[in-house]
Structure 1
């Protein structure tokens, strides 16, 4: 059974070679480049016709239309969802291909072992930890939510869970530096604020729920200083998402500052006349 890889990228010349070598087993790689200014596309094209390059603008806020580019150009029934942060172990690939090649495999989604590293750290106490993740999905099972950010793509169908493995996994090696983390988060925050269904109440409740999760369920603080850092980094995302949504729906700083400046300048004019 054929499989397509979805790979959205922007200025990934340092990582794109390793990423593509990890996907070379796929039948096609749909690379959606957001007008990179470095050698990303040049390197990608060096892998031959298997890598099909498509372009879209790199918006200031997250734009879920990258999924439409992929779905419009994907020719295989099965897909693997990838980023430049990802690499996958060959033993896991063997298990995946064995499953999708079975004629009697009546599933639409395969949850695979997934190791998510944040700033070089991965732990079962990490707020981002997950044993399995739905990364192998039939094209027909992908539903796009245009207002979504992290949940822009939703998957509908029967799920098959591969046995968890600490070694034979897909590795998500993201946020190599704090600066990179903040740059990416800003795009996500803007994307969340652009959602027409912004709810400050729901956003505030989400912050509280995530706080409870990392304190009382994951107990991330037991990781020591590393855990405290991960807690702060994790919660800051949801807290700043609230701030961006507040600014979008209720912020009025420009008008307020203009009013104050106008009042003060008028007072200066009155003082000068006298």
Structure 2
């Protein structure tokens, strides 16, 4: 792609120096790049500035609020959201260009992701096409919910689908996976506590089992071989941690 597009691409970071160059290189077609950083200490900000990105430094206040902060700072109405563990493919960039040149038919687009676990593209286990919130959208039509984690969105317009993919590499090792799951389980427990959700024996014991069966059986994780089995186990572990931490917050920290 020879010319940049009237699109603001943004990403959220905290100590992402090990992979930030790859993600920013993949969105150099965007007319503006914003990095919302929660005071990284590993050179993340310096790398962002090498790419000419606008850097916004702020305390972590929840993923939803951080994403809305990026929208408010953008100079373009069309936004491309990409996480630090994702890569925009050239084919997707070309599809975005064609949409803009032809006049977008929708106000927001879900983008399919090829998500990799321990180096393997997971075709099952609920990981494909693995849509999250719309990743290409008009900010005049969409905002994020102010959630700590697993943030929702409000769309006042039409929702479409892109055909080309984003590549995602969220869990390259078990160590990285468990560290992320511990963080997200704590944030989710805090969110549940704020909602006054209670912990029952069924949730603490039954929910992890149900999650394992959902990933491995219902979503056919068994077709991903050992990777699918281990992934289902990790999701069960996350589910147990989430409710155990909620129990701790409600019963042990009064």
**Please, what TM-score do these two structures have when normalized by structure 1?**
0.79
Q: For residue 197 of structure 1, what is the aligned residue in structure 2?
A: 195
Note if contact 1:127-1:234 (Cα within 8 Å) is conserved in structure 2: no
Q: For residue 272 of structure 1, what is the aligned residue in structure 2?
A: none
Note if contact 2:208-2:237 (Cα within 8 Å) is conserved in structure 1: no
CA shift in 2, pair 1:124/1:141, >3 Å: same
Are 2:184 and 1:188 aligned?
yes
Q: Which of 27, 31, 39 is residue 27 of structure 1 equivalent to?
A: 31
Any gaps of 5 or more consecutive residues in structure 1? 256-274
Q: For residue 237 of structure 2, what is the aligned residue in structure 1?
A: 236
Q: CA RMSD in A?
A: 2.6
Structure with larger Rg: 1
CA deviations on 1:132-184 (whole Å, 9 max, x unpaired) are: 55311221233332234112445443111233xxxx52101112222222222
CA shift in 2, pair 1:58/1:161, >3 Å: closer
Are 2:171 and 1:175 aligned?
yes
CA shift in 2, pair 1:33/1:132, >3 Å: closer
SS at match of 2:8: strand
Any gaps of 5 or more consecutive residues in structure 2? none
Note if contact 1:137-1:155 (Cα within 8 Å) is conserved in structure 2: no
Note if contact 1:19-1:87 (Cα within 8 Å) is conserved in structure 2: yes
Are 2:217 and 1:216 aligned?
yes
Q: For residue 268 of structure 1, what is the aligned residue in structure 2?
A: none
Offset, 1:186: 2.4
The 2-side partners of 1:173 and 1:139 are apart by 26
CA deviations on 1:39-97 (whole Å, 9 max, x unpaired) are: 2111211123xx100101247xx553312321220121111111111111112111112
Are 2:120 and 1:121 aligned?
yes
